[in-house]
Chain A
Amino acid sequence: MTAEDRPNATGLAAKPEDGLLKAWVADHRRVASDTANFISQRILGSFLVWVMLGIALTLPGLLWIAQSNLQAFGSQWQGNAGLSVYMEVGASESQVRDLAAQLQQNNTVQRAVLTTPAAALEELLARSGDSEFLREALASIDVNPLPASFSVVLKDDASYLALDALSRQLLALPGVDDVVIQSAWIERLQDLTNLANAIGGGLSSILLAAAVLVTFAAVRLAIESKLAELRVLALVGATASQMRRPFLYFGAAYGVGGGIMSVLLIALFLNEIEAPLESLLISYQIDVSLAGFSPGFLLAVVVTGWLLGLMGALLALSQKLGDLTKEAS
């Protein structure tokens, strides 16, 4: 025993003034290293936690990608939105000209293409493969039974409401027999999308809560396994934050691992559906490539996992460490 073993002469409950930042950084480094050891020593259990968190994060991630792609698809379709205007059979040329002039002056209309009764008849015959029967039937009547029609395409920023208003306005014009909006099915699709978003939002909330609970359970077990150490640390003067720190690291590590697992699962899923989805869209002559799986999205998933992991850890700490931290503080 030497003079070095003499007691410290600092104030009774005073914080040391020097080296606190250094000690804080050193403690973080030590806790990070301990966390890596703790997880690697329980790699199977940790892997299962990551998988559970990954699955819980995957559905919200996929829903987000689906939502952003449907929005892109909807906006692309809206660019080509339009309607077909059918004149009455026998409508006068002046009525057709008036309508064409009105369409040209309308702000929401990008272009309007007139199909004359004669052109429509030619098209019908062409589509029927120049059917002899149809040609003879048409020859037996004196007048062309097909009406003139306009194919109207609206501007990109035109909404469905504008389309509907134009449709009503045109229907009221003399010589106009019918107006067919070409977007009714898209509106239904949008309604379905809204419904899917609402259901998806609810499911996502449940799954994200499940992710918090998974981390909560994992961190709680970690606290249980370190209770003896925590009791000693409380006795020798650990602050509440020093006692919490390792478990916040556990929660963060579980969360980040779960986020990375989720990214992998989403990538696998998208890879599986990409080819059949493209084939389906091509059959509908829709040119939309899958969007949303960007670096920003990947980062968002991992950060979400990290935050959920921290939340789970804080929940576990508030429940299990309450008494010990009271002792420590």
Chain B
Amino acid sequence: MTFLQFDHVTRRFDNGQEGLSDVSLSIQQGSMVFLTGHSGAGKSTLLKLLIGLESPTSGRVIVDGFDLNKLKAKQMPWYRRQIGIVLQDHNLLPDRTVFENVALPLRLNPMSAKDAARRVRGALATVDLSDKGALLPRHLSTGEQQRVGIARAVVTRPRIILADEPTGNLDPFLSRQVMALFHQFRDLGTTVLVASHDIDLIKDQGCRILHLSQGSLVQDTGENPGAEAQ
């Protein structure tokens, strides 16, 4: 079942440059797909269009049958609650503990404090940081900080995980750990879209790869369900 769809999407910036040029693609629900390409290829623009931070100049971005252009402004926050976002620089709040950072998205949702705490503990256990909840982010290694970012992204049990260079600051071992986490979420039915320029890491994952260059989709390996996750 098609979950994410780009239908002839072009995103042109104010300076005339095109972040994306006539990109069409579709991604199945519960699949894990990598976006790759050099800096400026259009990976981040594609993710921003999916998050709703930017709008296409032409074409349609369709998520689960909804054309994002037709979402009312007031619906956008509720849509974003269905997305888990993982960024390269983690965006953790330095004055909040690991537990509070992970709990941040939950305070927007109707949920008791007890349930929220249970969810946060579960998310921290998933990323193997159960014993670090009381620490501040600066007391963690870079890999641990990235895992806190992932815990924060998945604590709301999103339907989509969008990750922008999630392993950019990590060594190969930690990068594989992070990828293994994404595979676990994919296996639970979450659609995972990872933007990365680490070709070696991506090739090992056995997932579909979309290669962007200068805003255009130049290669699509297609689904490869038989590949083993690392």
Contacts and interface: CB of A to CB of B under 8 A. Distances in A.
B93 A229 contact: yes
A242 B82 CA distance: 17
A5 B154 CA distance: 8
A232 B78 contact: no
Interface in A145-199: none
Interface string B77-102: 11111110100000101100000000
Interface in A253-286: none
A232 B76 contact: no
Interface in B113-170: 113, 122, 126, 152, 154, 156-159
A14 B81 CA distance: 10
A23 B110 contact: yes
B75 A13 contact: yes
29 contacts: A1-B126, A1-B184, A5-B126, A5-B188, A6-B188, A6-B189, A7-B158, A7-B188, A8-B156, A12-B63, A12-B66, A12-B82, A13-B76, A13-B79, A14-B78, A18-B110, A20-B110, A228-B93, A232-B104, A236-B80, A236-B152, A236-B156, A237-B78, A237-B79, A237-B81, A237-B105, A239-B74, A239-B77, A329-B77
A327 interface: yes
The SS class assigned to the B binding surface is mixed
Interface residues of B, number: 44
B110 A22 contact: yes
Given A232-B93, A232-B104, A328-B77, A1 B111 contact: no
Given A7-B188, A236-B156, A19 B111 contact: yes
Given A7-B159, A233-B108, A236-B80, A1 B66 contact: no
Nearest to B125: A1
Contacts of B83: 237
Interface residues of A, number: 37
Given A16-B109, A238-B77, 7 more contacts: A2-B122, A4-B122, A229-B93, A232-B91, A235-B91, A237-B80, A328-B77
Interface of B: 51, 53, 63-66, 71, 73-83, 85, 91, 93-94, 104-105, 107-113, 122, 126, 152, 154, 156-159, 184-185, 188-190
B95 to A, nearest CB: 9
B104 A233 contact: yes
Interface of A: 1-8, 10, 12-16, 18-20, 22-23, 26-27, 30, 228-229, 231-233, 235-240, 242, 327-329
A270 B107 CA distance: 47
A13 B104 contact: no
B66 to A, nearest CB: 5
Contacts of B110: 16, 18-20, 22-23, 26
Nearest to A238: B108
Chain A CB within 10 Å — which of B73, B108, B112 has the most?
B108
A13 B71 contact: yes
B111 A23 contact: yes
A22 B81 CA distance: 18
A232 B85 CA distance: 10
Contact of B108 (A12, A19, A231, A236): A236
Contacts of B104: 229, 232-233, 236
Chain B CB within 10 Å — which of A7, A238, A329 has the most?
A7
Contacts of B79: 12-13, 237
Nearest to B188: A6
Given A236-B104, A237-B105, A242-B108, A8 B80 contact: no
A6 B189 CA distance: 7
B91 A228 contact: yes
A165 B59 CA distance: 85
Given A1-B188, A228-B91, A327-B53, A236 B76 contact: no
B52 to A, nearest CB: 8
Contacts of A20: 110
A14 B63 CA distance: 13
B80 A329 contact: no
Contacts of A22: 110
A94 B115 CA distance: 101
Contacts of A19: 110-111
Contacts of B185: 1, 5
Nearest to A24: B110
B127 to A, nearest CB: 10
Contacts of A329: 73-74, 76-77
Nearest to B101: A232
A228 B51 CA distance: 18
A236 B85 contact: yes
Contacts of B65: 12
Contacts of B74: 239, 329
Contacts of B78: 13-15, 237
Nearest to B184: A1
B105 to A, nearest CB: 4
Contacts of B63: 12
Contacts of A328: 76-77
